[in-house]
Amino acid sequence: MATLDNNAVIQGALKELQGRLPPGWRVSLAKPPSGGGDAVAKVTAPDRRSGSIWLELRTRLEPKGILPLLEVVKTRVRGPLIVVARYLSEATRAGLRSRDLGYLDLTGNVRIVVPEPGLFIETEGAREDPDRKERPARSLKGAKAGRIVRALVDRRQPPGVRELAAATKIDAGYVSRVLALLDSQALITRVGRGRIATVDWISLLRRWAEEAPLESRGQTRTYLEPRGLTALVARLGKSGETYAITGALAAAAFAPVAPARLAILWVRDAAGAATRLGLRPTEAGANVLLLEPGDEGVFEGAAPRDGVCYAAPSQVAADLLTSPGRGPAEGEELIDWMRANEDAWRR
Amino acid sequence: MIELDELYVMARRVLLDALDALGPHRDAIVLVGAQAVYLRVGEADLAVAPFTTDGDLAVDPAVLAEIPPLEKALMGAGFYPKTKDSVGIWITQRPTRLQGNTDVAVDLLVPASVSPGAGRRAARLPGHDSRAARIVKGLEGALVDADVMRLEALDAADARAFEVRVAGPAALLAAKVHKISERHGTDRQSDKDALDVLRLLRGTETADLAGRYAKLLDDARSADTARSAQALFKAQFSARSGVGVAMAIRSVGLLGDADEIAASCEALAGDLLGALGG
């Protein structure tokens, strides 16, 4: 059934076809015979001989969809058939060629064989789906999305796609998809579909925290430092450990929040770090959480202060927003500080 | 410390007044009690008022001269006995900004095992008023584990400073557990004493604390007290059910987490007892 959208594709296909025909050839839309194909195109040679091409429309066709398609069309199509879509991947086109099926996509990938009146066209168009980057990522749950969020929040000048991809070591295609999501959610604004104009970093941080809460971003283990957090901080300052303090203890290093009761640290290896720092595993009464990150991005922008290493404020804020106890309130206090002191933390 | 409570500043000033007044007797004095705990280990992350305004001074009879009489020296500096029956409690009155005049006390205490007086309370130091100082059980360690520290005023306008012996963490720990045991179940029980024990445990490396404690066990003056204190300490702090743990938890109240306090007491008490060989 030809919908409006399908009509647009058919019209586009005819136009594409006309552009590829040898001089003197014409193409027009014929009335499809009952029961067969989405449309039939009629090609006419300069000597007025003509032939029909059955057009089979697909929104998308993957290689594994080729056999089922053959099953459907073989009974009802009598003559040359071409699959028409906005875009057909190289693998799909190869599969179609091996079964002697024609194809045409709107990027210019075309293969048409009409024995009578003798027409052969094979051209190559785009190698990648030009619409792919417009398909937004679905959420900010994953580690890669997290890195992109952090990079966007931390930069004073909104970066370009390529710069973002390089900074986060994530392929530009995925960066584009995350940006499309952020754009659709009004968390960033863009000039057209391109350059980022503004980043609403506060809403972006909150959304990220909501979709990727602290416990989803790492493995948590609980410990006791029986001498209290000041003793822990002093020991960290002397240790060779790779860590980044987050949570209220880190927030207190930037913003005026109440003294922390719980130390939260990102570390690569919790059990090893606990041993080296003299922490004791505990169920009840823990005052230290060691988190093994699912992604190294948590260490991005971490910096020493008074001899100990604190996670970047944006990381700390997102961690706090989904921390236990007073965490969410402290996260908001830190965001207030970040809002008032952008120069102190944005790069 | 960012902003000191007016009362802390005053307590330190009165303590310096007393040390000043005691003049030549200062060599026989060891600072003990909560102010000594604070000097040794600070608050140790336990955000509860670290000391009251009282100052506790232990007197070593073996060093104390007979003149001038303690009472004369103190009364000359504006201290007077709290009541006509009180023993070893010396009061002075000071104005506060908001609460009018307040009493600040300095207590003179003599460790029981070295006290010349064999009575229940009065230390009966020769040459001094019989009520000038009082006998206290468990304080013997202060004569053994103590270091000279410089005690300065907390008020920038007050330039005074004295070199004075301050009881070490092992002596303070032994004294506190005796005090807890003695006052447990009476209306004189103070939960803050248990918090001071936890502060001492937190603020002192186990090896240092155990080394100092071993000296208490090794010195004839303090050995008995230290042995009994070790047993009391184990009962009070090494298990969650101990009275010391319960007191520390109550003392911290809403400012801390009960489980964390309990687990910290158990862990650090276990460390110390382990280092002492049980």
Domain count, chain A: 3
Domain count, chain B: 2
Q: Residue B1 — very low, low, confident or very high, per pLDDT cuts 50/70/90?
A: very low
**Where among B167, B189, B222 does a domain terminate?**
B167
Question: For position A206, which CATH number holds?
Answer: 1.10.10.10
What pLDDT does A134 receive? 57
Put simply, the answer to whether B261 touches A224 (Cβ < 8 Å) is no
Q: Given A226, A229, A285, which is nearest B259 (Cβ)?
A: A285
Highest mean pLDDT among A44-53, A178-187, B91-100, B167-176 belongs to B167-176
Side chain identity, residue A121: I
Q: Is the pLDDT of residue A53 over 80?
A: yes
- Region A70-88: mean pLDDT is 85
As to burial, measured by CB atoms within 10 angstroms (0-12 exposed, 13-18 middle, 19+ buried), residue B159 is exposed
**A313: containing domain:** 214-345
User: Closest approach of chain B CAs to the CA of A226, in angstroms?
Assistant: 4
| Entry pTM | 0.72
Put simply, the answer to whether A285 touches B262 (Cβ < 8 Å) is yes
Task: State whether B10 and B105 are in the same domain.
Answer: yes
**Where among B109, B143, B167 does a domain terminate?**
B167
Tell me whether B205 touches chain A (CB under 8 Å).
Answer: no
Q: Residue A35 — very low, low, confident or very high, per pLDDT cuts 50/70/90?
A: low
ipTM confidence: 0.81
Count of positions (residues) in chain B: 278
Side chain identity, residue B112: A
**B26: containing domain:** 6-167
Question: For position A301, which CATH number holds?
Answer: 3.30.460
Q: Quick check: is B1 in a domain?
A: no
Highest mean pLDDT among A171-185, B7-21, B197-211 belongs to B197-211
What pLDDT does A133 receive? 53
Tell me whether A157 touches chain B (CB under 8 Å).
Answer: no
A224 contacts on B by Cβ (under 8 Å): 260, 263-264, 267
What pLDDT does B3 receive? 47
- Region B111-119: mean pLDDT is 87
Task: State whether A239 and A339 are in the same domain.
Answer: yes
Put simply, the answer to whether B47 touches A226 (Cβ < 8 Å) is no
Task: State whether A148 and A249 are in the same domain.
Answer: no
User: Closest approach of chain A CAs to the CA of B45, in angstroms?
Assistant: 6
Is A16 within 8 Å of A41 (Cβ atoms)?
no
B265 contacts on A by Cβ (under 8 Å): 226
What pLDDT does B47 receive? 63
Tell me whether A282 touches chain B (CB under 8 Å).
Answer: yes
Tell me whether B50 touches chain A (CB under 8 Å).
Answer: no
> Which A positions 211-270 lie with beta carbon below 8 A of chain B?
224, 226-231, 259, 261
Q: Residue A32 — very low, low, confident or very high, per pLDDT cuts 50/70/90?
A: low
Task: State whether A303 and A195 are in the same domain.
Answer: no
Side chain identity, residue B144: V
Tell me whether B44 touches chain A (CB under 8 Å).
Answer: yes
What pLDDT does A59 receive? 83
B264 contacts on A by Cβ (under 8 Å): 224, 226-228, 285
Q: Which one has a higher pLDDT value, A90 or A74?
A: A90
In the block, residue with structure tokens 């809460």: A213
Q: Is the pLDDT of residue A152 over 60?
A: yes
Q: Quick check: is B224 in a domain?
A: yes
